[in-house]
Structure 1
């Protein structure tokens, strides 16, 4: 068992949430709703919520720690639940998008409460979508450009929807990541 003072012990909630979100998204992206949207578009944006809450509560260093560990854990589990190409594409897109989200969040963190999570999520979603859909589906029979466009629109809509739980958690950040 980890000692409560270690960074990993403090970060167990965001790490567990991140792993769950990525694994669920990697599984659900395999199931199109229609020609331009997959179920993964509704779960994946929660990864940005996890990162943004962690960044606000504990800073960019811990947010990067959660992103890196979440990436590694989710990649291993995703390799068991999703085709290898989807798992690898997801991992690469995820870590690049998370690093961007953390950087953008930090640039905007002193502005109105909603700007940092919204702008970071919107920009990181573009990068994530382009990298993921190209690596996962280019050369397959799926119309990945159409799916990517639909998923990006859903991710942007989710960026707006997820502002509500982000705002609700702001006074409870000590529960998300306890103080050192």
Structure 2
């Protein structure tokens, strides 16, 4: 199995599992300001950013598309159709935005691209998801969305540590091109 194939498979598997787990966990509020899904979903941005850094934007988008399809199917079965559809719409929009922002900023200081892309994409994802999934249900979805976004911001900052550690061990698209191993 080539490094490229392994990267695509691992990225897609991680994405599908994280989104599905988050879609199950978001159904369980911690309180009026937070759901359990806020603790797992930010890792999706780490996966997207690592794929963009190592595989390039085009292949990262493929990971997003396939992970999206698998996660929607699993979420229909394991969560609810409304959660699955809201998640799919929010996920696809936010993750593609994340790839675009990250790819544009990838040559800046190492932390700028993952932080900026995750902050903006997370805001879009949270607003879309909570309004589509919970509006009209009687749940305090606005406060849940705000609380989840604050936790996502905190986790995004924490995720910079594993991102830095992983990018120093994984080959970048630029390093692979220099060695003839271009993805």
Instruction: State the 1:10 CA deviation.
Output: 4.1
CA distance in 1, matches of 2:78, 2:128: 20
What residue number does 1:101 align with?
98
User: Which of 46, 50, 57 is the matching residue for 2:47?
Assistant: 50
Aligned-pair CA distance for 1:171:
2.0
Question: Which residue of structure 2 aligns with residue 33 of structure 1?
Answer: 30
Note the alpha carbon deviations across 1:131-164, whole angstroms, 9 max, x for none: 0000000001101000000001011111101001
1:142 aligned counterpart, secondary structure: coil
Q: Distance in 1 between matches of 2:52 and 2:76?
A: 28
How many residue pairs align between the two structures?
Answer: 175
2:143 counterpart of 1:146: yes
Distance in 2 (CA, whole Å) between partners of 1:116 and 1:19 is: 23
Which blocks of at least 5 consecutive residues in structure 1 are unaligned?
Answer: none
RMSD: 1.7
TM-score scaled to structure 1, two decimals? 0.93
Q: Within 5 Å, which residues of 2 pair with 1:150-165?
A: 150-165=147-162
Alpha-carbon distance in structure 2 between the residues aligned to 1:78 and 1:86: 7
Name the counterpart of 1:126.
123
- Which whole-Å CA distance do the structure 2 matches of 1:127 and 1:7 have between them? 30
Establish whether residue 92 from structure 1 lines up as the match of residue 112 from structure 2. Answer: no
Q: Which has the higher contact order (CA 8 A, sep 6+)?
A: 1
- Structure 1 position 110 matched with structure 2 position 98: no
SS at match of 2:139: coil
Q: TM-score, normalised by structure 2?
A: 0.91
